Structure formats: C-alpha cells, structure tokens
C-alpha cells in the first residue's frame, strides 16, 4: 500500500538555521533516510516544496477557473515537503516516517493513498 507523508512545520518549533553545523547534519540525515528508503524499495517519490507564498489555489465555479494567490487555507503549520512510500502497512510507514528529520522539528502526517478500481 502507498502512503503519503506530509512534512509539516509547526509554529514555535524552529529547526536548525541554514549555514550552521546543525543544519548540515539535518540535511545529511534527510539524505540518509531517503537513501535507506530507496535502497529498501519503499521510496516512490519525495521532495521539498517552495514556500506557501509561491502557491496558487484553483477553483472552478460556473465552469470557469478562478485562481487566487497563496495556499487554500490560512494555517499556522506549513507543509514543507512530502514522501510517497510503498509499505506493507501503517506500522511500517510510521517506522519509516520516524527516520525523516521533519519528525524532530514538526510533524509528519502519514495517510494511506486510495487505490482506484482502474489502477488496482
């Protein structure tokens, strides 16, 4: 089963500052976690996201697209990246997500992806 892991920054919890040894260690930890998941065949995809200010939100109303700048909702938390993992079950997905540094500086929402009938 595939799981989407959303990496969420929480207000009031600051991660390492760019340019510090702690930041370099965090990047190394991300690389290690990602490589281990790839080596085990669990990694489907992953990547960081640009800041929420770069987002656009699309709605279709009366058959016409309406685009607004920014994220859909005003949230204190920010989604900073994602992983898509192929795991046997939720327990495995949670174990793997625990190795992602974002869990130390925020939260990781782990959610199973729906399997559509024509893609089963």
Q: What is the pLDDT of residue 74?
A: 61
Confidence of residue 3 (pLDDT cuts 50, 70, 90): very high
Is 66 inside any structural domain?
Answer: no
Q: What is the pLDDT of residue 53?
A: 82
Is 55 inside any structural domain?
Answer: no
| Chain segment 86-104, per-residue pLDDT in tens | 999 999 999 999 999 999 9
Q: What would the DSSP string read from start to end of 79-90? A: EEEEEEEE-SSH
Q: Is the dihedral of CA 76, 3, 27, 55 positive or negative?
A: negative
Considering its fold, how many domains does the chain have in total?
1
List, in order, residues 6 or more apart from 67 with CB less than 8 Å away: 56, 57, 58, 59
Decide: residue 53, CB within 10 A, 0-12 exposed, 13-18 middle, 19+ buried. exposed
Q: What pTM value is reported for the model?
A: 0.85
Q: What is the pLDDT of residue 41?
A: 97
Query: In this structure, what CATH number is given to the domain that contains residue 28?
Result: 3.30.70.1060
Q: What is the pLDDT of residue 72?
A: 60
For 84, the domain range is 2-49+75-115
């Amino acid at each position: 089963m595939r799981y989407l892991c959303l990496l969420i920054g929480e207000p009031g919890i600051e991660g390492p500052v760019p340019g510090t040894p702690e930041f370099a260690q965090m990047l190394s930890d991300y690389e290690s976690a990602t490589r281990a998941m790839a080596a085990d065949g669990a990694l489907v995809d992953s990547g960081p996201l640009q800041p929420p200010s770069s987002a656009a939100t699309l709605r279709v109303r009366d058959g016409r697209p309406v685009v607004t700048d920014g994220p859909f909702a005003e949230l204190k938390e920010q989604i900073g990246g994602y992983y898509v993992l192929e795991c046997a079950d939720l327990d495995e997905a949670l174990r793997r997500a625990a190795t992602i540094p974002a869990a130390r500086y925020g939260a990781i929402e782990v959610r199973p992806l729906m399997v559509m009938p024509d893609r089963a």
